[in-house]
């Protein structure tokens, strides 16, 4: 089945949200310019709304942090690899990567997922 998505989950200090949004827009533009089908960022607002574990139960954000989830969509894993390689070498990303991180990169969670069900 066609389709692949990279998902990310990270905690960011609330005070850094505006600066993060600017960087996320740069990253999104770079990804789209190099062929990503879709790029979206989500701010966690209702993370304990069901009887199952919520994201904060697993991720454990620190006081003053909010959770951000990102999704980047591709045609396939091969397509993702090609787009990511181009994005890493893009001068806009090289410039962003020289800046001090706005969040603890070691706590960021990510993974690639192939489409399993599509309706």
Q: What is the pLDDT along the chain (119 residues), one digit of tens a residue?
A: 689 999 999 999 999 999 999 999 999 999 999 999 999 999 999 887 678 888 878 888 899 999 999 999 999 999 999 999 999 999 999 999 898 999 999 999 999 999 999 88
**pTM beyond 0.85, yes or no:** yes
Domains and CATH numbers, the chain: 4-103 (3.30.70.100)
Hey, what are 20's tokens? 């993060």
- Which distant-in-sequence residues (6+ apart) come within 8 Å of 16 by Cβ? 102, 103
| CB-facing half-sphere around the CA of 8: CA atoms within 13 A | 18
**Phi and psi for 65 in degrees, rounded to 5?**
-105, 150
Question: Angle at Cα 67 formed by Cα 61 and Cα 69, nearest 5°?
Answer: 140
């Amino acid at each position: 089945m066609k389709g692949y998505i990279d998902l990310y989950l990270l905690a960011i200090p609330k005070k850094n949200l505006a600066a993060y949004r600017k960087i996320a827009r740069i990253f999104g533009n770079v990804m789209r310019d190099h062929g990503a089908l879709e790029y979206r960022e989500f701010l966690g607002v209702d993370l304990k709304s069901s009887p199952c574990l919520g994201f904060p139960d697993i991720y454990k954000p620190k006081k003053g942090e909010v959770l951000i989830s990102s999704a980047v969509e591709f045609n396939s894993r091969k397509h993702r690899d090609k787009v990511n390689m181009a994005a890493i070498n893009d001068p806009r990303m090289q410039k962003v990567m020289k800046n001090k991180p706005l969040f603890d990169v070691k706590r960021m969670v990510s993974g690639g997922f192939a489409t399993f069900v599509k309706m």
